[in-house]
Amino acid sequence: MSPEAAHGGHPAHIGVFTSGGDAPGMNAAIRAVVRTAHYHGLAVSGIYEGFEGMVQNNVKRLGIRDVSNIIQRGGTILRSARSKAFMTEEGRARAKAHLDQWGIDALIAIGGDGTFRGASLFAKEHGMPVIGISGTIDNDLRGTDRSIGFDTATNTAMEMIDRIRDTASSHDRLFFVEVMGRTSGAIALHCGIAAGAEFVMVPEYRQGIDELIQVLQRAARSKSSVIVIVAEGDEEGGAYEVARKVKGRFAHYDTRVSVLGHVQRGGNPTVADRLLASRSGVTAVEGLLEGRSGAMVGEVNGRMAFTPFEEVVAGPPTMDDELLRILGILSI
C-alpha cells in the first residue's frame, strides 16, 4: 500500500511499540505519539516487548501523564524482544485478535528494517494501517537522512575516542577502536572524521590490510599516536583481528584494542535525536489521520517525508564517498 493510500476512515485507537535494538530517542518518539494522539482525540496504547507483546497480549492504555519525564531517558519504556511466534502466520493471527480485543485499529512501529518487514507483512495480511518511525543507531535506512539514535550513539563513541586519544598520545600507542555496525559503517565513518582518526574500516568497502599498513607507515614517520576505527562488521574482522594482522609490522607503537560495545546504545539522547523523535511522532500520528499507511516517517533534506516500507527495506543507503575522501585528506 502506498503512503498516500487511504485505509478506510480515521483510526480511533493507535497502538505504539518499539522493536529491534534500542536506540536513544525512542522514548521521545513514544511520548510524541501518545501526546499527539490525545491532542487529536484518539485513544493510544503501548504494546510492550514489540511483536511478542502483540502475541502475548501485553498491552496497556497510555494517558498523557504516562509519558511524562521520559524524553531525556535512553532505551525504551516499552521494551523490546524477539518473537519467533510472530514469524508464523498463526502468531500474527493471534496478535491481530489481541489488538481487536483492545479496539486498536492502527499501529505505529518504532525500529529498523526488521521491524518494518514484520509490520509491512502484518499490514498486508490483516489490513491494519501501519506507520513506521526510524529508530536505529546504525543509520542504515533508506528514506531518512538520519535515524533516531544515530546522533547520540555517534557522540557517545566520539567522546570515548577522544579520551582514548589522550592516553594514546601520552604513550606512543596505536589504538584500534571497535564501534557498532555489523552492516553499516556510518558510526565508524562519522566518528572517524569527528575524532580525527587516521583510518576507518567499514563493511561497505573492501579495505585491505595492505592499505591500512600504508597509512600506518606514513603516520609512524611523524605522529606519536594513531587511532584506527573498525566497524564490527568489517570484512577483515573486528578490531582484535585487525590489530593481530598488523601488530608485528609496527614495533614502534604500543598496540592496544578497545571495543566500545553497547555503551553506544545507552545514555540520554542528544537535542538532535529528541527533536527528530518528536517531529517523527507527531508526523506519524497525523499521517494515520490523513489515511497513510505502509510507510516510514523520516527526515529528508530537513523536512519530514513518508517512504514506502518496500523502499525502506530494499537495502541500506549507499555510503557517502565524499566523507571517505575528506577523511583521507584530514588524516595526513
CATH classification of the domain holding 276: 3.40.50.450
Instruction: Detail the DSSP E strand segments found in 43-146.
Output: 43-47, 59-61, 106-111, 130-134
The verdict on 49 and 180 lying in the same domain is: no
The verdict on 240 and 165 lying in the same domain is: yes
**Number of alpha helices (DSSP H) and beta strands (DSSP E) in the chain:** 11, 11
- 286 vs 247, more confident: 286
pLDDT of residue 98: 98
Distance separating alpha carbons of residues 166 and 162, to the nearest angstrom: 7
When pLDDT is cut at 50, 70 and 90, the band that residue 216 belongs to is confident
Distance separating alpha carbons of residues 112 and 315, to the nearest angstrom: 12
Phi and psi of 238, rounded to 5°?
-75, -175
Taken in order 128, 52, 104, 15, is the CA torsion positive or negative? negative
When pLDDT is cut at 50, 70 and 90, the band that residue 206 belongs to is confident
SS3 328: helix
Q: Is 257 among the domain residues? A: yes
What is the reported pTM?
0.93
Distance separating alpha carbons of residues 5 and 293, to the nearest angstrom: 7
Q: Is 331 among the domain residues? A: no
Residue 195, all three cell numbers: 575524532
Q: Is 319 among the domain residues? A: no
The verdict on 182 and 238 lying in the same domain is: yes
Q: Is 327 among the domain residues? A: no
The verdict on 22 and 69 lying in the same domain is: yes
The verdict on 181 and 300 lying in the same domain is: no
Residue 83, all three cell numbers: 518473537
The verdict on 178 and 276 lying in the same domain is: no
> How does the average pLDDT of the chain come out, rounded?
92
Instruction: Let me know: does 181 contact 295? Beta carbons within 8 Å.
Output: no
Whether residue 166 lies in the annotated active site: no
When pLDDT is cut at 50, 70 and 90, the band that residue 2 belongs to is very low
Q: Is 325 among the domain residues? A: no
The verdict on 114 and 164 lying in the same domain is: no
Total domains in the fold of the chain: 2
Which listed residue (22, 105, 113, 138) is catalytic?
Answer: 138
Question: CA-based angle 37:312:153, to the nearest 5?
Answer: 75
The verdict on 103 and 219 lying in the same domain is: no
| 26, 49, 108, 110, 179 from 280: Cα distances, Å | 10, 21, 11, 10, 27
Residue range of the domain that includes 237: 152-265
Q: Is 126 among the domain residues? A: yes
The verdict on 164 and 282 lying in the same domain is: no
Instruction: Let me know: does 119 contact 110? Beta carbons within 8 Å.
Output: no
The verdict on 171 and 78 lying in the same domain is: no
Instruction: Let me know: does 130 contact 51? Beta carbons within 8 Å.
Output: no
Which residue in the block uniquely carries the three cell numbers 494517558?
63
